[in-house]
Amino acid sequence: MTPGFRLNLNKRIFIPVIRGIWGAAFELARGPEPRLLVLVAALVVGVAWWTILSPERWLTVFFICSLLLPPLPLPIGNSGVHVAPLAALIGLVAGAMRTTQWRASRINQHGTLPLLFVLFLAVVTLSVAFAAVYSGWKIALGSLARVFLFGIGLYVFFYTWIGPRENEPDPVTFARFLFRIGLLGAAFACIDFYFQLPAPAHYAPQFVWLKHSVLRRAQGVFYEASTLGNFCAFFLVMILVAAFLPRDRRVCSRFVLIPGAVVFSAALILSSSRASVVTVVVAGAIFVYLRRLKIKVVLVAVCACLSAATAIVRVALPTFSANYWSRMALSMRYIWSFPDGVLSGRVRNWKTLGNFLVQHPWHLLFGIGYKTIPYTNYIGAHVVADNTYLSLLVETGIAGLFAFAALNIAILRTAYRAARSDKSDAAFFGTWMFCFWCGEVVQMLSGDLITYWRVLPLYFWVLATAVRESGD
């Protein structure tokens, strides 16, 4: 879109038409509430148009909505309505208006990863038909909606990698922006947990049972605590990678990274997500191996931040702190003798799904429909898989599981190649993504991480930036 065309669209067409429509609507509206709705609608349309005028602007709006705004308390969906998908639709319009500016030639230079992204999306989309056959059209619509939510992350990946742009963006500047809004989200999660603020929508009922009270686990603006924990783990890995860069290449100074690490660590502890702690541990171990660092130096840095966060939680919430560390110690002690109790009933659910596949082996071919396990009666029991690989096997069959496995291998291979790049930005983003995704591959054994649609676009943005900066 040329500047001249944009100016013409603004002044000669768009503004007079919108003024006329909303002026008439405001005059026809009777009473304060209808007029307020008209003003809100005008504001939404104005923000949408302002966002579309720049090809990069919608990503900023989307991440602000996704990472800082809670769902609206409307009776639609399991957890209400969220505005982030609307921002993604605006981004889709922004991309469609600039089809000639897409750098499609880059796909030929690096075709494996995008091909596997598209293949996996195609498999889960086709599985919606089986959701309709086995579970009915209502559950199939829910399955289709979850395919769309997963597709947002894929669109962010492709747009960041080969999408149109006015100026070549500085990825470090945008990463610094993401770190800041992530820090706001983590800080709010801590405040939300301490004061137990009322949830604005239908959040997951996840609690910490203390001796004299019951507390809702830290969830922040997300639907449930595990997403918050995964989100905090992501930025803790970023801080670890950035802290060992030369001073002139750091995303933020250590005076910002260290307090940030304390806040993210505190939010991770308050989320009570043990699996996310495992992600950080695995990512840290991979980082030490990748950079050939002295493990003592990394341990000192990690333990210092963890100790500071632990001290803060201990002072603010001594009962919760004692309960948390007792739970961690018992988990490590009884993981082999009482795995189902340690894993919060996951083993029992896995056995239920395994027995279903044994009794109905033909479902290994195509599955019963993407993201239908918790909602369908077809299995004979309402269970939560809490295992990405088993969930995909039951819901999308061997085809979906193999496509996802190949996709994970491609993500790790691509990120590792970027991490070994001579280009500083590519090496930073590649290392960040490679270390974190190694932890994700492990955490997927105890959680359905591809349902975390509000944070997956963030992860895929880092991956796409690593690919773009490496020159692939």
- Exposed (0-12), middle (13-18) or buried (19+): which is 211, by Cβ within 10 Å? exposed
- Exposed (0-12), middle (13-18) or buried (19+): which is 449, by Cβ within 10 Å? buried
Q: Which helix (H) or strand (E) holds 186?
A: helix 171-195
Contacts of 324 (CB under 8 A, 6+ apart): 208, 269, 272, 313
Tokens for 30? 């009777």
Whole-model pTM: value is 0.90
Helix H, strand E, coil C: the string for 430-459 is HHHHHHHHHHHHHHCCCCCHHHCCCCHHHH
- Exposed (0-12), middle (13-18) or buried (19+): which is 195, by Cβ within 10 Å? exposed
Instruction: Check residue 297 and give its pLDDT.
Output: 67
The answer to whether the CB of 226 falls within 8 A of the CB of 275 is: yes
Report d(CA 221, CA 181) in Å as an integer: 12
Contacts of 1 (CB under 8 A, 6+ apart): 97, 98
Q: Tens digit of pLDDT per residue, the chain (472 long)? A: 444 444 344 445 555 655 555 555 555 556 566 656 656 676 777 788 888 888 889 999 999 999 999 888 776 666 668 899 999 999 999 999 998 889 877 776 666 899 999 999 999 999 999 999 999 999 999 999 999 999 999 999 999 999 998 877 789 999 999 999 999 999 999 999 999 888 766 777 888 888 778 888 999 999 789 999 999 999 999 999 998 888 777 788 888 998 999 999 999 999 999 999 999 999 998 998 888 766 666 667 777 777 777 788 888 888 888 888 788 887 888 778 788 777 888 999 999 999 999 999 999 999 999 999 999 989 977 888 999 999 999 999 999 999 999 999 999 999 999 999 999 999 999 999 999 999 999 999 999 999 999 999 999 999 999 999 987 5
Report d(CA 168, CA 270) in Å as an integer: 39
Count the Cβ atoms, other than its own, within 10 Å of residue 27: 10
Give me the phi and psi of 207, to 5 degrees please.
Answer: -130, 160
Which residue, 221, 226, 169, 192, is CA-closest to 429?
169
Q: What is the CA radius of gyration of the chain?
A: 23
Please spell the DSSP secondary structure of 188-234, one letter per residue: HHHHHHHHTPPPSS-----EEE-SS-EEEPP-TTSSSHHHHHHHHHH
Instruction: Check residue 432 and give its pLDDT.
Output: 97
Chain length of the chain: 472
Instruction: Check residue 333 and give its pLDDT.
Output: 80
Angle between helices 32-52 and 57-68 (to 10 degrees): 130
The answer to whether the CB of 271 falls within 8 A of the CB of 226 is: yes
Collect contacts of 249-253 with beta carbons under 8 A, ≥24 apart. Answer: 249/424, 249/428, 251/172, 251/175, 251/176, 251/179, 251/428, 252/176, 252/179
Tokens for 97? 């208006």
Give me the phi and psi of 394, to 5 degrees please.
Answer: -70, -40
Instruction: Check residue 106 and give its pLDDT.
Output: 72
Tokens for 383? 């269970």
Specify the amino acid at residue 11: K
The answer to whether the CB of 463 falls within 8 A of the CB of 415 is: yes
- Exposed (0-12), middle (13-18) or buried (19+): which is 246, by Cβ within 10 Å? exposed
Tokens for 374? 């918790």
Give me the phi and psi of 377, to 5 degrees please.
Answer: -95, 0
Report d(CA 379, CA 348) in Å as an integer: 14
Please spell the DSSP secondary structure of 315-384, one letter per residue: HH-HHHHHHHHHHHHHHHHHTTTSHHHHTTTHHHHHHHHHHHHHH-TTHHHH-S-TT-TTT-STTSS---
Instruction: Check residue 127 and give its pLDDT.
Output: 96
**Residue 244, CA distances (Å) to 240, 429, 467 in order:** 7, 13, 22
